[in-house]
Amino acid sequence: MCQPLLALALAAALAAPSVASETILVVGDSHTVGAFGAHIDEALRAVRGNRVATYGVCSSRPQSYLSESAHGCGHVFRDFDKKPPSKWLGSRVYKELRKVKGVDKEVEMVKTPELGQLLTDHTPSTVIVALGSNIPINGASVAKTLALIHKAGAACLWVGPPDMRRPTKDEVDAVYATLAKNKVDASVTMEAAKKDGCRLIDSREFSYLRYPEKDGDGTHYMGKLTPLAAKWGDDAAAAALKALTP
């Protein structure tokens, strides 16, 4: 599971006595529901002392974690003990009859957890936001997301979207422009990211994620593309651990 870059980052984090363990909250969209989310979650947990909780909701955007909007295409809720927290499964996961390709079908819906409540429940030292693949995202929702994280006293890391077929490269670049306007940038230090802005992990730099022209649905790394999502999760975790290492 661990790529060389991840192995080096894990070794450095484990060997450095000055590195404090982290309480990390990860929130994301369908990529987090899939192999990317599973690998970043496991890689972060692999560091001794870390406590990690991961919440992913398919089709979600920053707005979703502010408005508790409901989505019906998959989710993952994983608490510090790796189990789905009962608090978020009760009234938030329900069945609803919907038209799917013209046919009535019972769909499992989930209300996106509200970010402010997740912060209260988990009191993280670091929040990793992995959102931006579902467009549009607006600057106001990004600003409010950062404000909630900073109010909770946590540092912020944002994993931006990769180059996909859908949305287009121009649309993905526009997402990064919106993030940059809200001080989500690779140059932001982790110390600064506790108070203002957010440290960016730019997934466009992982060139292996450039989506092939014909395979897949254009957005998700599934099927034979799953190994790419797994490597992405490992490399994003390595970048996060490096940022958190003094």
Instruction: Name the 3-class secondary structure at 244.
Output: helix
Answer yes or no: is pLDDT of 202 > 70.
Answer: yes
Contact 16, 245 (CB under 8 A): yes
Q: Please check whether residue 5 lies inside any domain of the structure.
A: no
Domain enclosing residue 59, as ranges:
20-84+113-244
Answer yes or no: is pLDDT of 11 > 70.
Answer: no
**Domain CATH for 118:** 3.40.50.1110
Phi-psi region of 24 (alpha: psi -120 to 50; beta: other; left: phi over 0): beta
Q: Please check whether residue 98 lies inside any domain of the structure.
A: no
Q: Give 170-195 pLDDT, tens digit per residue.
A: 999 999 999 999 999 999 999 999 99
Structure-token match 């769909």, residue found: 107
- Distance CA(14)–CA(138), nearest Å, equals 38
pLDDT at 106 (0 to 100) = 85
Q: How confident is the model at residue 20 (pLDDT cuts 50, 70, 90)?
A: low
Q: Please check whether residue 7 lies inside any domain of the structure.
A: no
Q: Please check whether residue 153 lies inside any domain of the structure.
A: yes
User: Residue range 20-39: average pLDDT?
Assistant: 95
Q: Please check whether residue 237 lies inside any domain of the structure.
A: yes
pLDDT at 3 (0 to 100) = 53
What are 187-192's contacts with CB under 8 Å, separation 24+?
190/155, 190/157, 190/243, 190/244, 191/155
Q: How confident is the model at residue 140 (pLDDT cuts 50, 70, 90)?
A: very high
Q: Is the pTM of this model over 0.85?
A: yes
User: Residue range 21-34: average pLDDT?
Assistant: 97
Task: Tell me how many domains the chain contains.
Answer: 1
Q: Give 78-137 pLDDT, tens digit per residue.
A: 999 999 888 877 778 878 777 677 777 888 899 999 999 999 999 999 999 999 999 999
Q: How confident is the model at residue 5 (pLDDT cuts 50, 70, 90)?
A: very low
Exposed/middle/buried for 99, CB within 10 Å: 0-12, 13-18, 19+? exposed
Q: Please check whether residue 183 lies inside any domain of the structure.
A: yes
The mean pLDDT of the chain is 90
Q: Name residue 228's amino acid.
A: L
Q: Please check whether residue 8 lies inside any domain of the structure.
A: no
pLDDT at 230 (0 to 100) = 98
User: Residue range 224-246: average pLDDT?
Assistant: 96
pLDDT at 102 (0 to 100) = 75
Q: To which H or E segment does residue 56 belong? A: strand 51-57
Q: Give 51-80 pLDDT, tens digit per residue.
A: 999 999 999 999 999 999 999 899 999 999
Q: Please check whether residue 129 lies inside any domain of the structure.
A: yes
